Structure 1
Amino acid sequence: MTSAEPLSERTLILAPLGRDSQVALNILDEARLPGLICQHLAHLCEELERGAGLLVMSTEALVGPDLETLFHQIEQQPAWSDLPIVLLTHHGGPERNPAARYGSQLGNVTFLERPFHPVTLISLVTTALRGRRRQYEARDRLIDLSNSELRLQNTLETLEQQVEERTAQLRHNEEALRQSQKMEAVGQLTGGIAHDFNNMLTGIIGSLELLRRRLARGRTEDLDSLIDLGVTSANRAAGLTHRLLAFSRRQSLDSKAVQMNTLVLSMGELLQRSLNESIRLDMQLDDQLWIAEADPNQLESALLNLVLNARDAMPDGGKLVVQTFNQYLDSGFTDTYTNLEPGDYVVLSVQDTGCGMPEAVVSRAFDPFFTTKPIGQGTGLGLSMIYGFSKQSHGHVTIDSVVGQGTTVNLYLPRFHGEAVHEPTVDNRHPPHAQEGETVLIVEDDPAVRVLVSAVLSELGYAFLEAADANSAIPILQSDQRIDLLVSDVGLPGMNGRQLAEIGRQLRPDLRVLFITGYAEHAAVRGGFLDPGMQMITKPFTFDLLTAKVREMIRA
């Protein structure tokens, strides 16, 4: 704390055992908030006389003869003052802590369970200081009111107006602050997206431009390499959008029963190939593991990302442990987090013996495009994707790291309750050809996508009808025209694809529907979006997948 900062704004910290005092001070310093560590209770009382914005105390500090002095100081506060106190408690909350009996004597107390997250502490401190500043404003207003009876009378007459104006100003300031923080986050996100997409678009546009030049000159040799370059860049762009949707919890999930041990073992060879020879992979899989509920493809992607991160953290080699186990999370844990319910969870844990991360890095590890790797060696989307995937799956993810010792990431997924359904596999190695007369109705608002889908189905012998929106498609559905399958984008202008499918089912009860979507908020969880006879694929998709799905659904 610098001498220029007022004593009335500072945080007095008293936690005599362990490193809580120093950790709290470091967090405050990082947030540019003034703080002072007190050595004992008498020292705290002495500094409190000089001025303080709030107290951060541990329950261990509430002992000794000086405790009564502190109670007396709190009791003797002026009428305008209500000193905020953040009390660091043990696990289990205030109701199990002896300090709870002092609640009435300490007054304005907020309990914070250890170990605490930096964001939680900063939120409590800033909220307390904001309230404290309003107390000081109230004090100053009382002083002004006492100067003269006329000023008191005028203030009483205009008090309501002043309060409204002050409240409006405070709301305006808070909104401006939120907008500033939001724009800063959006700036980081869009900057990262622009950087990565510009690289990928350069590969796509450049390969297409070279193809056009060579074809214009009649050169047809070595075109495959240019095509592969463009497709690779396009697939990277598709992967980036999927990771962004995963972070924002807007990806289309196909959650189902997952035997996590089987999934991990099936990836064993891939994981081993992804590691350096100096890294030893150790799989510790629980024989009694519950069945998890998740999207298996996203779970595979999450595991691979975690293993690659662990590999990069061990450039000189080490040990990588992939572990699975069961865990019950009670309300004492889940109440701290939104979207997390008490119950049984299946845990996938990835532990490394690498360089570890400081607390400041751990606190930002899930931010999109935040990375400690050199430029070109990481997008900073891996952990943010895992965070979004876990939350959208009604699970959780944690990071524990010690500098110089390593990092452990635990991914919690809910236990599956019910009977697993085994879906038949689709053989899409050979593109299916249509039977005579089979007709597909294609509803897609993007002309380029509509032309490509129509061209691919036409090459395979399907008759097709096209519509740019639901209003154009409904008369076709109302006609006597044969329609074996409706292929519709979800995000159509006006009436969406799901609403169109409902109307189609009313007109043609046996109508099968294949949805194609790049992003649709309400289609994020397929189980609650698709009825029997409906399936979904996400853009961008391969035409092999599209034609295989079309054939599968028509023949079904």
Structure 2
Amino acid sequence: MPWIIIAATATTSSVFILTLVNIYLYFSYRERFMKIWAYAWGVHTFRYLFLIGSELWPSSRIIKEINYLFIIASAIILLTGTRVFIGRPTGRKENLIGVLIAIWTIYSISSSMPIMTAMIPIFAFLSYTYIHIGIQLLKNIESKGVASRITGWLFILWGIHQADYPFLRPIEWFAPWGFLIGGVLATTIALGMVLIYFERTHLALRAKEDRYEQLIESSHNWIWEVNAEAVYTFASAHVKGLLGYTPEEVLGRTPFDLMPEEEATHIREIFGAIAARREPFHRLENTNQHKDGRLVVLETSGVPFYDGNGGFCGYRGMDQDITEHKQAEIRRDVSKQVLQALNETHDLKVSLEQVINLLKTDMNYDAVGIRLQEGEDYPYLVESGLPKDLLIKENSLIEHNPEGGICRHEDGSVCLVCTCGLVITGRVPLDNPLFTPGGSFWTNDSSCLLHLSVDQEPRHNPRNECIHHKYASFALVPIRYKDKIVGLIQCNDHRKNRFTMESIQHLEGIAAYIGSALMRKWYEDERINLEKQLHQAQRMESVGRLAGGVAHDFNNMLGVIIGHTSLGLMETDSSQPIYNHLQEINSAAERSADLTRQLLAFARKQTIEPKVLNVNDAITDMLKMLQRLIGEDIQLNYKPGAQVWPVMMDPSQVDQIMANLCVNARDAIHGVGTIVIETGTIVVDDAYRINHSEAGPGEYVWITVSDNGCGMDKDTSAHIFEPFFTTKAPGEGTGLGLSTIYGIVKQNNGFINVYSEPEQGTTFTICIPRHIGAQALPPQKDAAMLLPSGDETILLVEDEPAILAMTTALLMNQGYNVLPVCSPIEAIQVAHQHKNGIDLLMTDVIMPKMNGKDLAQNLKMMYPNLRCLFMSGYTADIIAQHGVLDKGIDFIQKPFPLPTLAVKVREVLDLETHESPLFS
């Protein structure tokens, strides 16, 4: 039957091809079930070879036995491979049945039994085996694809076909078709098994890819791939979070395209050397530029990968954001260096310059500045990177009204503008997210502030030079000294997102370091200032001794000159030529007396009569006189503070202060200008004393006199209170005006501040301690009157003959009966001899053998109602030792002109009879 040989040969070829395919797949993928399938189809190939042999040699029983044994073996092996493929254990029962059938086959053929006795068990086993395999494939969960279902049903059909083989094989016309059907089914099943494998492989690959994608998505790192030219071919979505770019924006670019130019050059060299050696690399630090402009530090690791032929394809790796870690390291280093800078030098300005340079360079901010309190303002002490026009506009934070005066709150504190003013005053909106609990202000996108109304804006002020200069990020951190804000740190950057809460907390820590340095500086400055004050006190003591040494004799001589010229003027007609000469002599003598008083005021030895007064009233009474002093070209603005506290002070000293300051302001203004006088109150605490160590703690009343004149530089300001120092031309000033003010202020336990800039004007601030006790009496207007006179008897005691004669003449000119004597002993004698009574004792305080106080006590025994008026040319400290400057004691300072003498004598005589506290 040649047809069966041809059919068997064709089937053998196809099965052999399947064997080769499975062998190839096994060596390609090294799957165990592929190896078993290759064995199964190889045995099946031999089965057909022996089938052909059995047809060629029909009488050979061995060939038939081997043919049937190969059929059984291929079925068992195919079943085993399929079970391995689907993950099921080996079928021991099926294997045992196959072995038993094989034994039966050998026995039946060897015994020459009918062929059907061998074929029926064999093909029944094959039918069971193939149907079982088909069912297992259809049930297998991991093989639910189309190929698996088709192959499973084909196995079942093949099993059914094997069952009918013993019965249809003898039918001659059907036998070729049977072989053809079997061969097609076998080939199709083999291909289906391969498809099932690839289907499963595809699904496994998809599952693996899903796992990798999930791992990539769950990772906070950026996973990437670059080709051999370092061009990105893959970028995970996390690049958006790290650098602000989408994966699509990164693909086609190199890592160096995302770096600053200098960093890109550096990293390109490092990576080029690594890639040339095809080496993996780990934790390569590199700085990248975020899409919004800020810098991001990444830590990069990568490994090379190759194609199937071993060709270098590129690198795969990941980037980790270590910006905050690096910033934390930098912040720690900066903090150490800041502490070192603040501790190494005693010059605070030099230290703070180092601090801002550290912040600018190491923290990479575009501009840094530090404001510190100076008087009532908070100008920049040091800065780096801020534009000059911004510095000019923003240096002062004090708000001024249209007239040039300082705006103040109801409590007397100055109004500060801009966000800096909010931070410094501590007026922080609690619900505003732009402010931290520590009072710091920060933003990473200043453009959002432009959309806020004035009421919503955190500064409550439209001035915003930082935004106009295109600073996108800026931070304002308060500097505290104890519990008071005394300045701030300002950091500006043109890039967005330059600050984090950690960086703000770092700046707050540096601000605390500066606050501690300020405390040390204050203690050091206080020590230095105390030494300076000691030296100044010693110098003043020398000047005071000089002034006190000459004051008595000089005042006596001036008294004689003034007294006699007054008498001469009274007795001379104004039309006579000598009248003008007498006036000039009198004016020169009074100017000399005023010079002596100024010198004594500077040395704090001026005789004063302190009273409780209201400075607002005292200044109001002087306004007309001050306007005459400064002239019509200069406008005088007076802004008295509300509810100003009283002070204890000699009213004449207020006059001296205001007159001297207004005259100085007038001389500083060339042409038209403005002088502003303001008053108010202030409480001096330890924080204020950082930059004002001469101020004692407590409550003060302040007076400011401001002008818009030529101003002064710092060198000039340092010497203005020195006696005889002047910047005026010879003959235009004595150099005692400001030193007099200084002496008056110190004599009243106050302090004085001056703020001046060339071409910007000058502001003097006088602070006098608040008086606790009786309130100031309302001012009383003096009625115009003639010089008072009288006819009472006055006992005049003066050891200087010239003064005695001059005073006698002045008193007699006013109608008084004068008993002049030149010593206390003579005065007692005259008092005993004079029988008509004595109304007033006018005596010098310091005289040989007996002073004025002892004389008054002696005469009081004879005349209990005797009134006493003491006079002296000595300084206040010497006179005070004799008790005549106590409250309630009447005293007149030499030299005195006639009007002063006449008024004082009449005032004492008109007092009600009382017992002076001098003698109580």
Query: Could you say which TM-score interval applies, normalised by the shorter chain?
Result: 0.5 to 0.7
Q: Closer, same or farther in 2 for the Cα pair 1:516/1:554, shift >3 Å?
A: same
Q: Closer, same or farther in 2 for the Cα pair 1:340/1:485, shift >3 Å?
A: farther
| Equivalent of residue 275 in structure 1, options 621, 625, 630 | 630
| Equivalent of residue 445 in structure 1, options 799, 803, 807 | 799
Match of 2:822 in 1: 468
Looking at structure 2, the residues matched to 95 and 280 of structure 1 have their Cα atoms a distance apart, in angstroms, of 37
User: What is the SS of the residue equivalent to 2:346?
Assistant: strand
Q: CA deviation at 1:258?
A: 1.8
Q: Closer, same or farther in 2 for the Cα pair 1:502/1:439, shift >3 Å?
A: same
1:429 corresponds to 2:802: no
Q: CA deviation at 1:510?
A: 2.7
Q: CA deviation at 1:278?
A: 4.1
Q: Deviations over 1:491-533 (max 9, x none)?
A: 334543344334444554432211222233347789x844676
Match of 2:722 in 1: 367
Listed as ranges, the matches of 1:388-399 within 5 Å are 388-399=743-754
Q: CA deviation at 1:95?
A: 13
Q: Deviations over 1:332-374 (max 9, x none)?
A: 6679989965332221110112222122221211111100111
Q: Deviations over 1:206-242 (max 9, x none)?
A: x99xx9xxx9xxxx83222111111111111111011
User: What is the SS of the residue equivalent to 1:501?
Assistant: helix
**Aligned letter for 1:236?**
R
User: What is the SS of the residue equivalent to 1:239?
Assistant: helix
Listed as ranges, the matches of 1:338-417 within 5 Å are 342-416=697-771, 417=773
* Bigger RCO (CA 8 Å, 6+ sep): 1
Q: Closer, same or farther in 2 for the Cα pair 1:415/1:518, shift >3 Å?
A: same
Listed as ranges, the matches of 1:45-60 within 5 Å are 55-58=345-348
1:484 corresponds to 2:839: yes
Q: Closer, same or farther in 2 for the Cα pair 1:185/1:410, shift >3 Å?
A: same
Match of 1:328 in 2: 683
Q: CA deviation at 1:273?
A: 2.6
Match of 1:131 in 2: none
| Equivalent of residue 306 in structure 1, options 661, 665, 679 | 661
User: What is the SS of the residue equivalent to 1:56?
Assistant: coil
**Aligned letter for 1:429?**
M
Listed as ranges, the matches of 1:172-183 within 5 Å are none
CA contact (8 A) 2:613 2:777 kept: no
CA contact (8 A) 2:638 2:678 kept: yes
Match of 1:291 in 2: 646
Task: Tell me the number of residue pairs that the alignment of Structure 1 and Structure 2 aligns.
Answer: 409
**Aligned letter for 2:701?**
V
Q: CA deviation at 1:182?
A: 5.5
**Aligned letter for 1:445?**
D
Q: Closer, same or farther in 2 for the Cα pair 1:497/1:91, shift >3 Å?
A: farther
Q: CA deviation at 1:383?
A: 0.5
User: What is the SS of the residue equivalent to 1:540?
Assistant: coil
Q: CA deviation at 1:93?
A: 7.3
User: What is the SS of the residue equivalent to 2:658?
Assistant: helix
1:544 corresponds to 2:880: no
Looking at structure 1, the residues matched to 645 and 539 of structure 2 have their Cα atoms a distance apart, in angstroms, of 40
**Stretch of structure 1 that moved more, 411-420 or 348-357:** 411-420
Looking at structure 2, the residues matched to 540 and 425 of structure 1 have their Cα atoms a distance apart, in angstroms, of 26
Looking at structure 1, the residues matched to 735 and 904 of structure 2 have their Cα atoms a distance apart, in angstroms, of 34
Looking at structure 1, the residues matched to 761 and 770 of structure 2 have their Cα atoms a distance apart, in angstroms, of 28
Looking at structure 2, the residues matched to 250 and 185 of structure 1 have their Cα atoms a distance apart, in angstroms, of 12
Q: CA deviation at 1:270?
A: 2.2
Looking at structure 2, the residues matched to 91 and 185 of structure 1 have their Cα atoms a distance apart, in angstroms, of 41
| Equivalent of residue 250 in structure 1, options 597, 605, 608 | 605
Looking at structure 2, the residues matched to 501 and 543 of structure 1 have their Cα atoms a distance apart, in angstroms, of 24
Match of 2:411 in 1: none
Q: Report the identity percentage.
A: 34
Root-mean-square deviation over aligned CA pairs: 5.0
**Aligned letter for 2:774?**
G
**Aligned letter for 1:430?**
L
Unaligned runs of 5+ in 2: 1-334, 359-478, 486-510, 912-920
Looking at structure 2, the residues matched to 122 and 533 of structure 1 have their Cα atoms a distance apart, in angstroms, of 39
1:113 corresponds to 2:469: no
**Aligned letter for 2:786?**
H
Looking at structure 1, the residues matched to 616 and 654 of structure 2 have their Cα atoms a distance apart, in angstroms, of 12
1:456 corresponds to 2:746: no
CA contact (8 A) 1:340 1:394 kept: no
CA contact (8 A) 1:250 1:519 kept: no
| Equivalent of residue 511 in structure 1, options 866, 879, 884 | 866
CA contact (8 A) 1:251 1:524 kept: no
Looking at structure 2, the residues matched to 326 and 102 of structure 1 have their Cα atoms a distance apart, in angstroms, of 29
| Equivalent of residue 223 in structure 1, options 561, 567, 578 | 578
CA contact (8 A) 2:674 2:708 kept: yes
User: What is the SS of the residue equivalent to 1:370?
Assistant: coil
Looking at structure 1, the residues matched to 806 and 631 of structure 2 have their Cα atoms a distance apart, in angstroms, of 42
Q: Closer, same or farther in 2 for the Cα pair 1:523/1:274, shift >3 Å?
A: same
CA contact (8 A) 1:513 1:533 kept: no
CA contact (8 A) 1:355 1:403 kept: yes
| Superposition TM-score, scaled by structure 2 size | 0.38
Match of 1:24 in 2: none
Q: CA deviation at 1:409?
A: 0.7
Q: Closer, same or farther in 2 for the Cα pair 1:433/1:281, shift >3 Å?
A: closer
User: What is the SS of the residue equivalent to 1:113?
Assistant: helix
Q: CA deviation at 1:421?
A: 5.5
Q: Deviations over 1:250-273 (max 9, x none)?
A: 111111122222222222222223
Match of 2:286 in 1: none
Looking at structure 1, the residues matched to 743 and 814 of structure 2 have their Cα atoms a distance apart, in angstroms, of 39
**Aligned letter for 1:398?**
N
CA contact (8 A) 2:720 2:726 kept: yes
Match of 1:18 in 2: none
Looking at structure 2, the residues matched to 500 and 425 of structure 1 have their Cα atoms a distance apart, in angstroms, of 36
Match of 1:150 in 2: none
1:534 corresponds to 2:875: no
CA contact (8 A) 2:645 2:681 kept: yes
CA contact (8 A) 1:491 1:520 kept: no
| Superposition TM-score, scaled by structure 1 size | 0.61
Q: CA deviation at 1:249?
A: 0.5
User: What is the SS of the residue equivalent to 1:404?
Assistant: coil
Q: CA deviation at 1:294?
A: 1.3
Q: Closer, same or farther in 2 for the Cα pair 1:304/1:525, shift >3 Å?
A: farther
Q: In terms of Rg, which structure is larger?
A: 2
Unaligned runs of 5+ in 1: 1-39, 49-53, 67-89, 104-108, 128-177
Looking at structure 1, the residues matched to 620 and 484 of structure 2 have their Cα atoms a distance apart, in angstroms, of 44
User: What is the SS of the residue equivalent to 1:407?
Assistant: strand
Q: Deviations over 1:121-172 (max 9, x none)?
A: 9969xx9xxxxxxxxxxxxxxxxxxxxxxxxxxxxxxxxxxxxxxxxxxxxx
**Aligned letter for 2:702?**
V
Q: Closer, same or farther in 2 for the Cα pair 1:310/1:480, shift >3 Å?
A: same
Looking at structure 2, the residues matched to 101 and 302 of structure 1 have their Cα atoms a distance apart, in angstroms, of 36
User: What is the SS of the residue equivalent to 2:909?
Assistant: helix
